[in-house]
A and B are shown apart, each in its own frame.
Chain A
């Protein structure tokens, strides 16, 4: 990449991090700093590293890339910051800059990125994972790379037995206009890890519309987050084209949704794509956001207790907190957990890169889930679901982890 675009990355990051007066408000907010309380792990620490890099006080090194990679991009710090400094955006810019500059581009991210870039590879991986699951071999893979999937069929068998029969929720009375063309965006995580939940999303959509199923490509967040911006933009252009004729693009993955809603800002200086990207971003909605709009009523109401984990990219990322909770209240009993919006430690591939820290963060999440006494923890992001499935297993069966599509 050219020096000009490197400068631009630094300028973008500078606008953000120069606002930081190092007060420290973000320190307790950062889940990583809670788990590993060394300054460079905190949001302040990383912003100040970025600032020193920009002002010429520190050299770009692979060590620095490792420091800025140690971020969940969960935006907990942004929420608490008096100046609302967007540490996540700064980190993405600095990661890209360091990848360009040090050439240290993370071979593993490149490998992962190229799998996710190819729809064929994603499908193939999905098949392999399904096969491994069928063969019961998933437990031999480390760090929940092949999570156990607790299916809707399991759920109904366990929780909507005879006791629940009389409680079936009334059918949705919302009139659906045939005119609105609703398309589904199937993210790689859903396709590879939780195909059953993805199928449920489609079933739910079918109650109100004839969802279009597209052969979409990856949302590009894994590429953007790890210094592969060129690939991210390429994927974004493809998706924009693929969904040009849809009126709404429904996403059941918080990270995909959050990324797609922000595409416009990455094309701000590209006159060819700027308007198309903005038009696309406006159409994107989370599944629960869409369902709230069409007044969806869950397919059943069960005598069981749910709790809910806010994916960072849905709660803080898209401001969607009420809709999923309302849906869960309509589908059963709902109980709020402590620190529901604190990151689970999944954060894309973070849990693969830093399994120990991720599991420390997850232990706290698991304890909070257990304290609610809920039978099921629900979320809206496959990344979180991988973590929560691990937590469910560690709890020794105290609770199950499910995608929201599977329970509503």
Chain B
């Protein structure tokens, strides 16, 4: 509970209209885009919407003094419950901090506040011929504070890496309200521990990220899209691996299994060719049409070696948009099949992809569940989606056991629980298995040092 006195202090910092405590407003900040059940609602006691770092700092000082839990939040588009205030307290919503502070074209770097939408950052850079590559599926509505706190990935990771590969520096408000600057524009920087990396992906448990310095790269001049159909998922994965080994790096290589393709066909009211067991959509980019044509030619040769069933080159922007629309529409297409969908986010060494997909099929059979598989063939990040009806008796228990099996398989091949969604609440029970006792102990030691009162996003990760 937050007393009226404390609320008054906070209202004095952000203004009454930015400290909300009505029942429905608090309810609005009790969920995110994960499958954590909506009810019972995990309402914060107070929703606070600061506009400046100074305000965040003052709020944290109050929270620290009174040991009030604080859960930072951007657009609440996370998939693992990271921004859900499980212990009440303050939901610190950074959506009003939406300024792009500096676009330094000479150094190819950009400072942005936490509440800037990823798409707005992308567009601001693109207007100067610069490219901010990380593209989580939510990039049109998620904010970069959340992207950094979760170290979001995306389809372009295979060639361009994930969010952390672009973070050069941070402004972070620590649990007691101290403002910390990490990193900077110097490209080489080994002064002290790499705190920038420590806070990136810390899921709001170590500090409140208020500003981010990103490096950006020149915008690729041309892009193209290829669609490769294979008889089996193994063939498709082998083709992608051979491309990478021969120096042919796609900007994105997305795989969909037979089940996904059937679901998409049903959703779009088309016929699925039963000979096709997997589809890979590839984005290529380069300096000019010639460069794209050369890449396409070499990729086609590799695909043929791997027994490609159909090789299609998008002939127009419209065709290319359509191919990507199929990929982006997958989650809706498969979600419409059964009432509940639990999307996982395992990440495995690239060459283990086909093996893991085979073992996922076995898990589905064992637990009598439907599991659709799609994901990023280029980087080993797989999104198995368990389709189920949780209102059926016993279903929830079977899903739970299937998820356990799924994680066991993942860890056994040297993979990990999450490639890009984070741990949050949903994968918390499995973290000791993934990191071991010493891993969790080390996390704990860092947490204790930076957040001695345990007020920052409590109840997350482990």
- Closest residue of chain A to B332 (Cβ to Cβ) is A82
User: Provided the pairs A24-B77, A57-B38 are in contact, do residues A63 and B28 lie with their beta carbons within 8 angstroms?
Assistant: no
| B33 contacts partner chain A, Cβ-Cβ < 8 Å | yes
Report which of B23, B32, B331 forms a contact with A63, defined as CB distance below 8 A: B23
Pair A52/B39 contact, Cβ less than 8 Å: yes
User: Provided the pairs A23-B77, A55-B38 are in contact, do residues A63 and B329 lie with their beta carbons within 8 angstroms?
Assistant: no
| B341 contacts partner chain A, Cβ-Cβ < 8 Å | yes
| A235 contacts partner chain B, Cβ-Cβ < 8 Å | no
Interface code A239-281, partner B: CB below 8 Å = 1, 0 otherwise? 0000000000000000000000000000000000000000000
Report which of B24, B328, B339 forms a contact with A40, defined as CB distance below 8 A: B24
Report which of A27, A40, A48 forms a contact with B38, defined as CB distance below 8 A: A48
For the complex, what is the distance from the CA of A216 to the CA of B138, rounded to whole Å? 48
Pair B38/A51 contact, Cβ less than 8 Å: yes
Report which of A23, A45, A48, A58 forms a contact with B138, defined as CB distance below 8 A: A23
- Closest residue of chain A to B36 (Cβ to Cβ) is A22
For the complex, what is the distance from the CA of A37 to the CA of B331, rounded to whole Å? 26
- Closest residue of chain A to B23 (Cβ to Cβ) is A63
Pair A63/B335 contact, Cβ less than 8 Å: no
Report which of A24, A52, A55, A57 forms a contact with B76, defined as CB distance below 8 A: A24
| B117 contacts partner chain A, Cβ-Cβ < 8 Å | yes
| Shortest distance between the CB of B48 and any CB in chain A (Å) | 12
Pair B20/A38 contact, Cβ less than 8 Å: yes
For the complex, what is the distance from the CA of A22 to the CA of B140, rounded to whole Å? 14
Within 8 A of A (CB), among B181-196: none
| Shortest distance between the CB of B176 and any CB in chain A (Å) | 28
Report which of B20, B22, B96, B335 forms a contact with A37, defined as CB distance below 8 A: B96
Most chain B CB neighbours (cut-off 10 Å) among A19, A23, A55: A23
Chain B residues with CB below 8 A from A39, complex form: 25, 28-29, 76
| Shortest distance between the CB of B114 and any CB in chain A (Å) | 14
Chain B residues with CB below 8 A from A28, complex form: 117, 140-141
| A49 contacts partner chain B, Cβ-Cβ < 8 Å | yes
For the complex, what is the distance from the CA of A67 to the CA of B76, rounded to whole Å? 19
Interface code A49-75, partner B: CB below 8 Å = 1, 0 otherwise? 101100111100101100100000000
Chain A residues with CB below 8 A from B38, complex form: 48, 51-52, 55, 57
Interface code B14-40, partner A: CB below 8 Å = 1, 0 otherwise? 000000101111011101110100111
Pair A22/B22 contact, Cβ less than 8 Å: no
User: Provided the pairs A23-B138, A57-B41 are in contact, do residues A83 and B332 lie with their beta carbons within 8 angstroms?
Assistant: yes
Within 8 A of A (CB), among B325-375: 328-329, 331-332, 335-336, 339, 341
Report which of A18, A25, A64 forms a contact with B24, defined as CB distance below 8 A: A64
For the complex, what is the distance from the CA of A51 to the CA of B339, rounded to whole Å? 14
- Closest residue of chain A to B142 (Cβ to Cβ) is A24
| B95 contacts partner chain A, Cβ-Cβ < 8 Å | yes
Within 8 A of A (CB), among B127-147: 138, 140-142
Chain A residues with CB below 8 A from B29, complex form: 39
Pair B24/A49 contact, Cβ less than 8 Å: yes
| Shortest distance between the CB of B156 and any CB in chain A (Å) | 20
| Shortest distance between the CB of B220 and any CB in chain A (Å) | 25
For the complex, what is the distance from the CA of A68 to the CA of B29, rounded to whole Å? 17
| B75 contacts partner chain A, Cβ-Cβ < 8 Å | yes
For the complex, what is the distance from the CA of A400 to the CA of B95, rounded to whole Å? 36
Chain B residues with CB below 8 A from A45, complex form: 28
Pair B39/A55 contact, Cβ less than 8 Å: yes
Interface residues on A, range: 20 to 34
| Shortest distance between the CB of A54 and any CB in chain B (Å) | 10
Most chain A CB neighbours (cut-off 10 Å) among B76, B117, B140, B141: B141
Chain B residues with CB below 8 A from A57, complex form: 38-41
Within 8 A of B (CB), among A1-47: 18-19, 21-25, 27-28, 37-40, 45
Chain B residues with CB below 8 A from A23, complex form: 33, 77, 138
Chain A residues with CB below 8 A from B96, complex form: 37
For the complex, what is the distance from the CA of A312 to the CA of B29, rounded to whole Å? 29
| Shortest distance between the CB of B329 and any CB in chain A (Å) | 6
Chain B residues with CB below 8 A from A61, complex form: 23
Report which of B23, B49, B75 forms a contact with A27, defined as CB distance below 8 A: B75
User: Provided the pairs A21-B33, A52-B41, A63-B23 are in contact, do residues A82 and B331 lie with their beta carbons within 8 angstroms?
Assistant: yes
| Shortest distance between the CB of B343 and any CB in chain A (Å) | 9
Chain A residues with CB below 8 A from B138, complex form: 23-25
For the complex, what is the distance from the CA of A349 to the CA of B76, rounded to whole Å? 31
Chain B residues with CB below 8 A from A21, complex form: 33, 35, 335, 341
Pair A83/B335 contact, Cβ less than 8 Å: yes
- Closest residue of chain B to A68 (Cβ to Cβ) is B24
For the complex, what is the distance from the CA of A162 to the CA of B39, rounded to whole Å? 69
| Shortest distance between the CB of B14 and any CB in chain A (Å) | 13
For the complex, what is the distance from the CA of A45 to the CA of B138, rounded to whole Å? 17
Chain B residues with CB below 8 A from A18, complex form: 339
For the complex, what is the distance from the CA of A80 to the CA of B386, rounded to whole Å? 25
| Shortest distance between the CB of A52 and any CB in chain B (Å) | 6
For the complex, what is the distance from the CA of A112 to the CA of B354, rounded to whole Å? 65
- Closest residue of chain A to B73 (Cβ to Cβ) is A39
For the complex, what is the distance from the CA of A39 to the CA of B83, rounded to whole Å? 13
Chain A residues with CB below 8 A from B332, complex form: 82-83
For the complex, what is the distance from the CA of A212 to the CA of B95, rounded to whole Å? 54
| Shortest distance between the CB of B264 and any CB in chain A (Å) | 12
Within 8 A of A (CB), among B83-124: 95-96, 117
- Closest residue of chain A to B35 (Cβ to Cβ) is A21
Chain B residues with CB below 8 A from A40, complex form: 24-25, 27-28
Pair A63/B77 contact, Cβ less than 8 Å: no
Report which of A19, A22, A64 forms a contact with B33, defined as CB distance below 8 A: A22
Most chain A CB neighbours (cut-off 10 Å) among B49, B138, B142, B332: B332
Chain A residues with CB below 8 A from B33, complex form: 21-24
Pair A48/B31 contact, Cβ less than 8 Å: yes
For the complex, what is the distance from the CA of A354 to the CA of B281, rounded to whole Å? 47
Chain A residues with CB below 8 A from B339, complex form: 18
For the complex, what is the distance from the CA of A19 to the CA of B410, rounded to whole Å? 30
Pair A37/B95 contact, Cβ less than 8 Å: yes
Pair A38/B25 contact, Cβ less than 8 Å: yes
For the complex, what is the distance from the CA of A213 to the CA of B77, rounded to whole Å? 52
Chain A residues with CB below 8 A from B27, complex form: 40, 48-49, 52, 58
Most chain B CB neighbours (cut-off 10 Å) among A18, A22, A28, A49: A22
Pair A63/B141 contact, Cβ less than 8 Å: no
Pair B28/A25 contact, Cβ less than 8 Å: no
Pair A25/B20 contact, Cβ less than 8 Å: no
For the complex, what is the distance from the CA of A153 to the CA of B20, rounded to whole Å? 51
For the complex, what is the distance from the CA of A51 to the CA of B141, rounded to whole Å? 22
Most chain A CB neighbours (cut-off 10 Å) among B24, B77, B117: B24
Chain B residues with CB below 8 A from A25, complex form: 138, 140-141
Can you report 27 A-B residue pairs in the complex whose CB atoms are below 8 A from each other? A18-B339, A19-B336, A21-B33, A21-B335, A21-B341, A24-B33, A24-B141, A24-B142, A25-B138, A25-B140, A37-B95, A37-B96, A38-B20, A38-B25, A38-B49, A39-B76, A40-B28, A45-B28, A48-B28, A49-B28, A52-B41, A55-B39, A57-B39, A58-B41, A64-B24, A83-B335, A83-B336
Q: Which residues of B contact A (CB under 8 A)?
A: 20, 22-25, 27-29, 31-33, 35, 38-41, 47, 49, 75-77, 95-96, 117, 138, 140-142, 328-329, 331-332, 335-336, 339, 341
Q: Please provide the 4 A-B residue pairs with the shortest distance between their CB atoms, ordered closest to farther.
A: A39-B28, A57-B39, A82-B332, A24-B77
Q: Which residues of A contact B (CB under 8 A)?
A: 18-19, 21-25, 27-28, 37-40, 45, 48-49, 51-52, 55-58, 61, 63-64, 67, 82-83
Other than the given A21-B33, A39-B25, A56-B39, 20 more pairs (CB < 8 A) read: A22-B33, A23-B77, A24-B33, A24-B142, A25-B140, A28-B117, A38-B20, A38-B49, A39-B29, A48-B38, A49-B28, A51-B38, A52-B38, A52-B41, A58-B23, A58-B41, A67-B24, A82-B332, A83-B332, A83-B336
